[in-house]
Each structure stands twice: as structure tokens, then as C-alpha cells.
Amino acid sequence: MQNYIKNPYEIEKRSFEIITEELGEKTFPEDIGKVVKRVIHTTADFQFADITIINEGAIDRAKKAILDGKNIYTDTKMALSGINKRRLAEYGGKVLNFVSDDDVAKKAKEEGITRSIVAMRKAVEENPDGIFVIGNAPTALFELIKQINEGKARPSLVVGVPVGFVGAAESKEELLKVDVPYILTRGRKGGSNVAAAIINAILYMID
């Protein structure tokens, strides 16, 4: 068996070196580059360098929100699991997900809609200017956009990276039209792991 790197820090360091090398002449402003490279590190998919869109000021506003102790609301338990909760807690914030709450399940069944929609409504009611992280459910992103357009939500950041074939690309195109800080991936690609990677990249930028 050939020698291989065993130290986790060295593995990550070398991974990012390889990503930078393979990106070649494709470069980004420093903070944006950290987000894009961590997504590529998570997925091993260099297409994210072309489809990741970050609007002006989004990262700085996200950092401020984290430092102010804002909570993060996710559309899935998987995204919640992937976010560095210990690091977030250092600034007073928590990661929350309401999809499995009994009241959410009951309301979704009564209205014949997804639990992701109801969970997003509950998150907005609890904290309209929180950080919203959507990596799986386009219905959650559509609902959040509706809440923003109605003046009920004023997100500090929206991470909109739902994955899939029904509504995922369309929901992200709608997010592009909204005047809020956002980070999104155009098209079908995304996922809870991508959503968590984006938040972690921002957390790791804060000293």
C-alpha cells in the first residue's frame, strides 16, 4: 500500500491546494473564493465555480449577523448536522430546524402542503431577520421568497441551494430577483452538504 496523508489538517490543506491549482486562472475575491473552494472541497465538483452566485455585501452582512448572535434556520436536519454548531455558539447563535415538529407536521397535513413550507413560516415568525439556509426543498425557498415579498421576512442572509429536478432551478432564479443578501447555485445542483459548506466557510472567516 502506498503512503498516504493521515493527518486531517494536512489532508484539508492539501485538498485546498489542489483545488486552487485546478482552478488555474479562474480567481475570485478572497472571501468569495473561500466559499466557492469549500463547496468544491465538499463536492469535488468544479462546476460550482461557475454556478455559485453571491450578491454584493452578502458575506459581510452574514458575518455581522453571526457576530450579532443571529440564529440559523435550515430546511433539513442534514444541513443542520453539517453546520459547525460549536463555532456558531461562540457568537451566541444556534442552528434550528422545525420540519419534525409536531405542530408543523399537523399543519402541513391539514393544508396538504410540504412540511418544509410550514417550517419556513414558523422560522420567519420566530426570527424574520435570521439566517435562512435551504439546501434541499425548493418549496421552502419559494415560501421564504413569498414571505420576503410580503414584508414579513428580512433575512440577514439567504443560502438558496436546493437540489433536484422539480422547482430547484426555478426557485433560485426567483431568489435572484429579491433584494436580500443571498448565496445561491444556479440550476439543478446544490444540496444540504453544499448549504452547510457555505455557512461553515463564512464561520471560518471570522476570527
User: Which cell goes with 156?
Assistant: 440577514
HSE value, Cβ hemisphere, 13 Å, CA-based, for 137 = 24
The C-alpha atoms of residue 162 and residue 118 are separated, in whole angstroms, by 17
SS3 43: helix
34, 41, 186, 188: which is the annotated catalytic residue? 41
State the DSSP H helix or E strand holding residue 204, giving kind and residue range, or none if neither.
helix 192-205
Active site residue 44: no
User: Which cell goes with 128?
Assistant: 424574520
Specify the residue for cell string 458575506. 59
**What is the CA 179 to chain-centroid distance, rounded?**
17
User: Which cell goes with 26?
Assistant: 479562474
- Between vectors from CA 15 to CA 10 and to CA 20, what angle results, nearest 5°? 130
Residues catalogued as catalytic: 41
